[in-house]
Amino acid sequence: MKGKLFYVGLILTFALSAVAHYMHLNATLQFVISAIAIIFVAGFLGKATESVAHYAGERMGGFLNATFGNAAELIIAIFLVKDGMFEVVKASLTGSIIGNLLLVLGLSIFAGGLKFKEQSFNVKLASHNSSLMILGVIALFIPAIFAGGLTTKETSSMSIIVAVLLVAAYLLWLLFSMVTHKEILSEEAIEHGEAPWSKSMSIMFLVLATVMVAFTSEWLVGTLEEVTHKFGLSELFVGAFLIAIIGNAAEHSAAVMMAMKNKMGAAVEIAIGSSLQIALFVAPVLIIASFFMGGTPMNIVFTTYELAAIGVAVFITKSITQDGSTNWYEGLLLLVVYIILGVVFFLV
Compute the least distance from the CB of residue 281 to its own copies, in Å: 14
Q: Is 268 in the site for its own copies (CB under 8 A)?
A: no
Interacting residue with its own copies among 12, 19, 211, 339 (CB under 8 A): 339
Stretch 115-144: interaction string toward its own copies, x if CB under 8 A: --x-----xx--xx-xxx-xx--xx-xxx-
Q: Is 211 in the site for its own copies (CB under 8 A)?
A: no
Q: Is 195 in the site for its own copies (CB under 8 A)?
A: no
Compute the least distance from the CB of residue 50 to its own copies, in Å: 26
What phi and psi, each to the nearest 5 degrees, are found at residue 7?
A: -70, -35
Interacting residue with its own copies among 35, 88, 328, 331 (CB under 8 A): 328
Q: Is 220 in the site for its own copies (CB under 8 A)?
A: no
Residue whose C-alpha is closest to residue 1's, from 18, 214, 115, 10: 10
Q: Is 182 in the site for its own copies (CB under 8 A)?
A: no
Tell me which stretch binds its own copies (CB under 8 A): 25-33, 185-193, 213-221, 331-339.
331-339
Q: What span, in angstroms and rounded, lies between the C-alpha atoms of 223 and 291? A: 25
DSSP symbols for 268-292: HHHHHHHHHHIIIIIHHHHHHHHHT
Q: CB-wise, 131 or 200, nearer to its own copies?
A: 131
Q: CB-wise, 15 or 138, nearer to its own copies?
A: 138
Helices (H) and strands (E) in the chain — how many of each?
17, 2
**Residue 340 C-beta-side C-alpha neighbours within 13 Å:** 12
Q: Is 288 in the site for its own copies (CB under 8 A)?
A: no
Compute the least distance from the CB of residue 260 to its own copies, in Å: 18
Q: Is 187 in the site for its own copies (CB under 8 A)?
A: no
Q: What span, in angstroms and rounded, lies between the C-alpha atoms of 201 and 284? A: 32
Q: CB-wise, 12 or 142, nearer to its own copies?
A: 142
* Count of residues that bind its own copies according to CB under 8 A: 58
Q: What span, in angstroms and rounded, lies between the C-alpha atoms of 141 and 294? A: 26
Tell me which stretch binds its own copies (CB under 8 A): 20-28, 66-74, 173-181, 214-222.
173-181
Q: What span, in angstroms and rounded, lies between the C-alpha atoms of 171 and 290? A: 20
Q: Is 152 in the site for its own copies (CB under 8 A)?
A: no
Compute the least distance from the CB of residue 65 to its own copies, in Å: 19
Q: Using the 8-state DSSP alphabet, how is residue 120 labeled?
A: E
Cβ neighbourhood burial of 183 (10 Å; 0-12, 13-18, 19+): exposed
CA 142 to chain centre: 22
Q: What span, in angstroms and rounded, lies between the C-alpha atoms of 50 and 23? A: 35
What phi and psi, each to the nearest 5 degrees, are found at residue 294?
A: 75, 170
Compute the least distance from the CB of residue 225 to its own copies, in Å: 21
> Where does 132-215 show beta strands of DSSP type E?
none
Compute the least distance from the CB of residue 269 to its own copies, in Å: 17
Q: CB-wise, 11 or 312, nearer to its own copies?
A: 312
How many of the other CB atoms lie within 10 Å of CB of 169? 16
Q: What span, in angstroms and rounded, lies between the C-alpha atoms of 146 and 167? A: 21
Q: Is 204 in the site for its own copies (CB under 8 A)?
A: no
* Binding region for its own copies (CB under 8 A): 117, 123-124, 127-128, 130-132, 134-135, 138-139, 141-143, 145-146, 149-150, 154, 157-158, 161-162, 165, 168-169, 172-173, 176, 180-181, 304-305, 308, 312, 315-316, 318-320, 322-323, 327-330, 332-333, 336-337, 339-341, 343-344, 347-348
